[in-house]
A and B are shown apart, each in its own frame.
Chain A
Amino acid sequence: QQQVKQSPQSLIVQKGGIPIINCAYENTAFDYFPWYQQFPGKGPALLIAIRPDVSEKKEGRFTISFNKSAKQFSLHIMDSQPGDSATYFCAARTFIEGKLIFGQGTTLQVKP
């Protein structure tokens, strides 16, 4: 079954903290793992993505760590800011169809 499990459902951190959001998948027929960020009243937008042959990718304060053998990947936000408060979705792209399977979402609140 194609599924991506995301945790935690919600997260509250202080400004400057490092929130970590975790995702796990079962199907090995995924070839790309993007993260999307959604602000209230907006549609999700691509934040950062990683291929399964790479163990880590960093863009600014956002880092994806990828563990292929464990079928897990996570998003770290360094020096988090109140403006990072949003809902974050992990996703996995199916190799054959090219569609995205999304995780359940994590609502992050960064307190000033």
Chain B
Amino acid sequence: DVKVTQSSRYLVKRTGEKVFLECVQDMDHENMFWYRQDPGLGLRLIYFSYDVKMKEKGDIPEGYSVSREKKERFSLILESASTNQTSMYLCASSLRGLKSSEQYFGPGTRLTVT
């Protein structure tokens, strides 16, 4: 059974803290994605990666960075957390090519920045 796991389900951080969100997939997928989900805005792509050491900016990369040192792991970093980054963060993975539209999502991390 395919699986995408995220390091925390709930996280509370203070403004200005550096925050790490970890994602691991066990399906040997090439593509990995980070989204944030906000009511009325849907899922918005923050960053994605097609391969190890590679990263591409999504639609809302400001205030975030990512790291992909191993194929199965994709980390999202908030360099200096702000209250407007309070959100649900979802990680996903997929194969390349024609199968890329079938993304497998983790359960999400609800981050609150106070």
Contact = CB atoms under 8 A, between A and B. Distances in A.
B101 interface: yes
A44 B105 contact: yes
Interface of A: 6, 9, 32, 34, 41-46, 49, 89, 91, 93, 97-105
Contacts of A44: 43, 90, 103, 105
A47 to B, nearest CB: 11
B101 A100 contact: yes
Interface string B81-110: 000000000101000110011111111100
Interface residues of B, number: 26
Contacts of A100: 45, 101, 103
A49 B107 contact: no
A43 B92 contact: yes
A71 B106 CA distance: 30
Nearest to A45: B105
Nearest to B103: A100
B43 A102 contact: yes
B100 A6 contact: no
Interface string B12-50: 000000000000000000010101000011111100100
A98 B100 contact: yes
Given A43-B108, A46-B103, A103 B42 contact: yes
Nearest to B33: A99
Contact of B42 (A43, A46, A99, A102): A102
Given A98-B96, A100-B45, A43 B40 contact: no
A43 B101 contact: no
B100 A46 contact: no
A64 to B, nearest CB: 13
Contacts of B100: 93, 98
B107 A41 contact: yes
Contacts of B40: 9, 104-105
